[in-house]
Amino acid sequence: MEKITVYQKPTCTTCRQVYAALKESAVDFDAVNYYVDPISKSKLKELLKKMKISAEELLRKKEDIYKTLKLADKKLSDDELIDLMAKHPDLIQRPIVEKGNKAILARPAERLKEIL
């Protein structure tokens, strides 16, 4: 069985729901608090590829840092957005659940079924 990795912020409600659902399912998984263990740029690129979404789609637009950096007013490339996400983890939508060659953004938490 392929190992599941959850990239999360432990204080996030959706992250806690996904964590609880995985525990209930007795699934073997690793939880990565990406505020403590940042996701590298190369890993972000890999996760985006596995999720089949753009960096723009992974961007959290309701965060203060998004407003502070005035990202709504800028047209940035995926590479530029990935650089910003690596530097400012608040810009990353969460939780991201990875299993083998597939990954999903588990928002809402019910999407977890897609990868189990």
Does 1 have pLDDT greater than 80?
no
CATH of the domain at 56: 3.40.30.10
Residue range 7-58, pLDDT digits in tens: 999 999 999 999 999 999 988 999 999 999 999 999 999 999 999 999 999 9
Q: What are phi and psi of 103, to 5 degrees?
A: -145, 150
Q: Confirm whether pTM is higher than 0.75.
A: yes
50 is in which domain, residue-wise? 4-114
Q: What is the pLDDT of residue 89?
A: 96
Q: What is the pLDDT of residue 13?
A: 95
Give the number of domains in the chain.
1
Active-site annotation, residues: 12
Q: HEC string of 27-79?
A: CCEEEEECCCCCCCHHHHHHHHHHHCCCHHHHECCCCHHHHHCCHHHCCCCHH
Residue range 69-95, pLDDT digits in tens: 999 999 999 999 999 999 999 999 999
